[in-house]
């Protein structure tokens, strides 16, 4: 079966609500009550916090250390809870 009209991409469709902008500009960091602070001395770079972060807010740097993305971190505290060496502390946001 050959159709007469074959769109090349979604741009050729009739007007359709298509979502193409990532939510990264949505700064969910303003929701935060408690701020996670990483103690770089204690941190062993095991990446367990990275694994369990529901907001993808723990970034692995090029040198292998971790950094927290405060623009998007909602301060749930999972990272501090799962850290085996307790290198992350939750501090009240001022």
Partner 1 sequence: MGKITIPEEEYMHPGHIACLGCGGALAMRYMLKALGKRTMVSIPACCWAIMHGKHPNFALGVPLVNTAFEVTGASISGIRAALDAKGIKDVNVVGFAGDGGTADIGIQALSGAVERNTNIFYVMYDNEAYMNTGIQRSGATPPGAWTTTTPVGTTQDWKKAPKKNMVEIMVAHKIPYTATINIAFPEDFVKKLQKGKDIDGPKFYHAFAPCPTGWRHPPEITVSIAKMATDSNVFPLFEVEEGKYTITRKPKKRIPVKEYLGLQGRFRHLPEEMVERIQREVDREWELLLRKEEYTADF
C-alpha dist (Å) from residue 74 to 3, 5, 15, 50, 69: 49, 47, 35, 14, 10
Q: Using CB under 8 A as the criterion, what x/- string covers residues 52-71 for binding partner 1?
A: x-xxxx--x---x----x-x
Is residue 86 near partner 1 by the rule CB under 8 A? no
Q: What's the min distance (Å) between Cβ of 65 and partner 1?
A: 9
User: Which residues in 23-52 contact partner 1 (CB under 8 A)?
Assistant: 23-28, 31, 44-48, 50-52
Buried b (16+ CB within 10 A) or exposed e, 26-63: eeebeebebbbebeeeeeeeeeebeeebeeebbeeeee
Closest CB to partner 1 among residues 25, 94: 25
Closest CB to partner 1 among residues 51, 94: 51
87: nearest Cα among 42, 50, 46, 55 = 42
Which residues are near partner 1 by CB under 8 A? 17, 19-28, 31, 44-48, 50-52, 54-57, 60, 64, 69, 71-72, 74-78, 80-82, 90
């Amino acid at each position: 079966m050959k159709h007469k009209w074959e769109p090349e991409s979604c741009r050729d469709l009739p007007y359709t609500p298509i979502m193409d902008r990532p939510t990264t500009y949505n700064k969910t960091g303003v929701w935060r009550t408690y701020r996670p602070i990483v103690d770089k001395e204690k941190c062993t770079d095991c990446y367990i916090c990275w694994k369990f972060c529901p907001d993808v807010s723990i970034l692995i740097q090029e040198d292998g250390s971790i950094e927290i993305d405060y623009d998007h971190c909602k301060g749930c505290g999972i990272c501090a809870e799962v850290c085996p060496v307790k290198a992350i502390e939750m501090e009240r946001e001022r």
